[in-house]
Amino acid sequence: MTQTEPSRVAQQAQTGRPEWATLLRRKPRPAETVIQGLLFASGAISILTTIGIVLVLGNESLSFFTDSEVSLVEFFTGTRWQPQTGDFGVWPLVNATLMTSLIAMLVAMPLGIFAAIYLSEYASPRTKALLKPTLEILAGIPTVVFGFFALTFITPILRSLFGVDTVQIYNDASAGLVMGLMIVPLIASMSEDALSAVPRALREGAYGLGATKFEAAVQVVLPAALSGLVAAFIIGVSRAVGETMIVAIAAGATSQLTFNPFQAAETITGHIARISGGDLSYGSLDYRSLFALALTLFVITLGLNLISRWLVSRFREQYD
Find the part of the chain contacting another protein (CB under 8 A) among 94-102, 145-153, 206-214, 281-289: 206-214
Q: How far is the CB of 136 from another protein (least distance, A)?
A: 23
CA distance 32 to 232: 37
Backbone angles phi, psi at 55, to 5 degrees: -65, -45
DSSP 313: H
74 contacts 89 by C-beta, under 8 angstroms? yes
Pick the piece of the chain touching another protein (CB under 8 A) from 171-179, 217-225, 238-246, 297-305.
Answer: 217-225
Task: Please state whether 236 falls in left (phi above 0), alpha (psi between -120 and 50) or beta.
Answer: alpha
Min separation Cβ 315 and another protein, Å: 11
Residue 304 binds to another protein (criterion: CB under 8 A): no
Taking CB under 8 A as the binding criterion, the range among 10-18, 157-165, 174-182, 210-218 that sits at the site for another protein is 210-218
Residues 128 and 123: their CA atoms lie apart, in Å, by 6
Task: For residue 138, give the 3-state DSSP assignment.
Answer: helix
Under a CB-based contact definition with an 8 Å cutoff, are residues 262 and 158 in contact?
Answer: yes
- Candidate list 205, 299, 302, 313; residue touching another protein; CB under 8 A: 205
By the rule CB under 8 A, 311 interacts with another protein: no
CB of 292 to another protein, least distance (A): 44
C-alpha atoms less than 13 angstroms from C-alpha of 296 in its C-beta half-sphere: 26
Name which of residues 93 to 132 contact another protein (CB under 8 A).
124-125
The residue type of 19 is E
Nearer to another protein, 195 or 297 (CB): 195
When binding is defined by CB under 8 A, the residue of 208, 278, 279, 282 that contacts another protein is 208
220: contact with another protein by CB under 8 A: yes
CA distances from 93 to 53, 70, 175, 257, 293 (A): 21, 17, 14, 8, 9
The site for another protein (CB under 8 A) is made up of 124-125, 199, 201-212, 215, 219-220, 223-224, 317-319
